[in-house]
Amino acid sequence: MIAAAGAIRRIGCAGCYLLLLLCTAARAQPYDVPYVPTPQVVVEEMLRIAQVRPDDYVIDLGCGDGRIPVTAASHFGARALGVDIDPGRIAESHANAKAAGVTGKVEFVNGNLFDLDLSRASVVTMYLLPDINLKLRPKLFQMLKPGTRVVSHAFPMGDWKPDRLVMVQRNIYFWTIPAQVAGRWKLEADLPGVGSRSYELEVRQKYQEIEPFAKTEQRNHAVWEPRLNGAAISFIIVDGDLAHRYEGQVHGKTMEGLVTTGAGSAEVQTPFRAVWTGHL
């Protein structure tokens, strides 16, 4: 308990210090988010946590001197874009990209991050203030595809709980954009030991947290261990005294995958499909 309390105090103090530092810098600059560079070790940890790969497209919001896009390209082989409202920082970003030999893999835009099209991104990074994060959150959900990774240095996103919170010198928050699954679904599967089943699946959702409930004409069924990670969804329905483990992908208004029934040598897999039928 004492160790845990100490850890909480350290995280809280670090956050307060960073906020004070940012606010102090803000008084000297005419921008909504002052420039305070992210330490290089934190840059690398942010990209590592996001599991950046050569096929990723990283967008850094408020890129400063371009160190996150440049590192994404030079260390991880990704393509990257940085946006900053300060033209001086954009010039510095171009110079740093040239020095690192990655000018062909990065680009920089001088403008307002709220005007930027984010739809190409597979990873979004940021070091912004808490109120800017909250203003940005609806845009992330509106423009980013399910499965897009989001990483924030130092500050959270209000009541959107992070998938991971890592502390390496600073707090690093990680989220995955979840598919939208709230509503009613018609779920159909041919289950071993049960036969053909058609469930009405009701799903309540708050960000990546989901609460499904299933019913047939004969009875109601609890849904166990629901998980939503980007477009990947999984849950268990017990029917006919057997646990049926559903694992699939959400594609807009459809959900498809495999049901695993039984265990060990008795394990059987069959396909399932669900179609969204309306709001709750």
Size (the chain), residues: 280
CATH of residue 208: 2.40.128.120
CATH of residue 90: 3.40.50.150
Average pLDDT for runs of 10 along the chain of length 280: 40 49 46 87 98 98 98 98 97 98 98 97 98 98 98 98 98 98 98 94 98 94 97 96 96 98 94 98
Specify the pairing of strand 268-278 against strand 79-84: unpaired
Same domain, 229 and 162: no
Same domain, 137 and 208: no
Same domain, 51 and 129: yes
* Tokens coding 111: 């403008």
Q: What pLDDT sits at residue 232? A: 98
Question: Which residues have C-beta within 8 Å of that of residue 94, sequence separation ≥ 6?
Answer: 66, 103, 108
Q: What pLDDT sits at residue 178? A: 98
Give alpha helix (H) positions in the chain.
2-26, 40-49, 67-76, 87-100, 130-143
Angle at which helices 67-76 and 87-100 pack, to 10 degrees? Answer: 20
* 245-265 per-position pLDDT tens digit: 999 999 999 999 999 999 999
Which of 134, 159, 176 is a domain's end point? 176
Q: What pLDDT sits at residue 3? A: 39
Which of 155, 176, 197 is a domain's end point? 176
This prediction has a pTM of 0.88
β-sheet bridge partners, residue 58 = 80, 123
Same domain, 164 and 29: yes
Distances (CA, A) of 41 to 10, 108, 200, 270: 19, 22, 49, 46
* 99-130 per-position pLDDT tens digit: 999 999 999 999 999 999 999 999 999 999 99
Same domain, 133 and 208: no
Residue position matching structure tokens 């969804």: 233
Same domain, 167 and 193: no
Same domain, 101 and 196: no
Same domain, 139 and 197: no
Domain count, the chain: 2
Which range of residues forms the domain containing residue 196? Answer: 183-278
DSSP string, 199-263: EEEEEEEETTEEEEEEE-SS-EEEEEEEEEETTEEEEEEEETTEEEEEEEEEETTEEEEEEEES-
Q: What pLDDT sits at residue 237? A: 97
Q: What pLDDT sits at residue 2? A: 37
Which of 148, 176, 204 is a domain's end point? 176
Cβ atoms of residues 144 and 125 within 8 Å: no
Same domain, 96 and 215: no
* Tokens coding 73: 């390209």
